[in-house]
Structure 1
Amino acid sequence: MKTVLKTHKINKYFYEPERFQVLKGIDLSVQKGEFLSLVGKSGCGKSTLMYVLSTMDTDYEGDLEINETRLTGKKQNELAKFRNEHIGFIFQFHFLLPEFTALQNVMLPAMKLGKYSKAEVEERAYEKLRILGMHDQALKASSKLSGGQQQRVAIARALINDPTVIMGDEPTGNLDSYNTQVVFDILKQLTREFGQTIIAVTHDDEFAANTDRIVEMSDGSILS
């Protein structure tokens, strides 16, 4: 199996109100096509670790590598470009632009990447919406979609650039039990059928139990 993400001895400190170590010597490696959940009590460091892994937080000690690229020490503009190409994000709240259609929302990261023509981007966006069973809603304003539909559009947006890894921060945290199951099944399908790598922070024990691997954190360290 190909390792697509690995960290070596990641340490992270907060300095307000006083110096406090929030991540302690994190060694983690994630394989291509793995669906991994990060769990632990509030304040254990899992969200902080997710920010480091996603390259949003660069103020840490240690090494981060994604897709065989060492990202530690890179400049912000290089990281922004890398993120857009290699990391897809799914949040608890979908962050869709309400006045844009579902299709336009999905197209945005690919238009920004500038790798494909507008026609190609549109075709790719339709394809991702089709995978998520949302292609028939493509031209609807995102504000007119239900919560579950909006989250599926957000997943399509995360997929548009065929990222190395998708990072989910409580991806089902804002959904009812029916839509939680729908979104979970979609994420599972993406790993099984398309070899997509997914790392999700979750408080949902049932969600975590059904992923390929649970990484439990406590007091800034990985337990298991």
Structure 2
Amino acid sequence: MKALQVQNTNKYFYTPTEFHVLKDISFEVNKGEFVAIMGKSGSGKSTLLYLLSTMDTSYNGNIVINGTQITGQSKKDLARFRNEHIGFVFQFHYLLTDFTVLDNIMLPALKLNKKSKKEIENEAMELIELMDIKGQEHKKASKISGGQQQRVAIARALINSPAIIMGDEPTGNLDSKNAQNIFELFRRFSKERGQTVIAVTHDDDFASNCDRIIELADGRIL
């Protein structure tokens, strides 16, 4: 089954002058595939990821995720679709620093409102164990280390069991040991849970261990 289909997609920036940033992009990603997107700075890789994640809707072309055409949907429908089907990991964690680790992780599931608070809390605690941050759950997010904060951000991205996990330099702010641990977690999710992982990265080691590399140059797939 296809997790993602991108067809003839173009993206322009219009300020300060018109710039054609993505040029006729077409590719597919299979369910459970672990894909790296690479390219030099300015090649369009982060722009592409934001289109795939439904956070940027101003483009020409067609994007289908898990059989649902997301192109043309309203912002409200896309927000719900994104919360349910896509887990996004930024390079910076963007945690709510005055909230506890547990509260940060539970937030997307409480918003989706498909399970009871107790069920969500139990699942969050399982993720906390999986991320090796047990004992930190009642600390404020501002009181834990940078590596732990990124693990909390990944747990938050996983709480709704998304079909696709997307990461924009998800290991960019981590030391090599933490980066390797995060890579191995993503690998497990794709192999054991059938979750699709798409990550923008500059890290050659990270990319070389993925199932496939999509390389961009000047807005085109090489």
Same fold (TM over 0.5): yes
Letter in 1 for 2:156: R
Letter in 2 for 1:64: I
Matches within 5 A, 1:36-47: 36-47=35-46
User: What residue in structure 2 maps to residue 110 of structure 1?
Assistant: 109
User: What residue in structure 2 maps to residue 166 of structure 1?
Assistant: 165
Runs of 4+ in 1 over 3 A off after TM superposition: none
- RMSD over aligned Cα, in angstroms? 1.1
Residue aligned with 2:135, SS: helix
How far did residue 133 of structure 1 move? Answer: 2.1
User: What residue in structure 1 maps to residue 96 of structure 2?
Assistant: 97
Q: Which stretch of the first structure deviates more once superposed, 31-40 or 16-25?
A: 16-25
Residue aligned with 1:23, SS: strand
TM-score, reference length from structure 1: 0.96
Q: Which runs of 5+ in 1 are unaligned?
A: none
When residues 72 and 200 of structure 1 are mapped into structure 2, their CA distance, relative to the original with a 3 A threshold, is same
How far did residue 95 of structure 1 move? Answer: 1.0
Q: Which stretch of the first structure deviates more once superposed, 100-109 or 139-148?
A: 139-148
CA deviation profile, 1:36-77 (whole Å, cap 9, x unmatched): 110000111111101110111111111011111001111110
User: What residue in structure 2 maps to residue 50 of structure 1?
Assistant: 49
Letter in 2 for 1:111: L
User: Aligned equivalents of 1:41 and 1:171: distance in 2?
Assistant: 17
Q: Report the identity percentage.
A: 59
How far did residue 141 of structure 1 move? Answer: 1.9
User: Aligned equivalents of 1:149 and 1:56: distance in 2?
Assistant: 26
Count of aligned pairs:
222
How far did residue 102 of structure 1 move? Answer: 1.2
TM-score, reference length from structure 2: 0.96
User: Aligned equivalents of 2:27 and 2:111: distance in 1?
Assistant: 30
Residue aligned with 1:65, SS: strand
How far did residue 130 of structure 1 move? Answer: 2.0
CA deviation profile, 1:2-59 (whole Å, cap 9, x unmatched): 1111111001111123222111111121111111110000111111101110111111
Matches within 5 A, 1:137-176: 137-176=136-175
Q: Which runs of 5+ in 2 are unaligned?
A: none
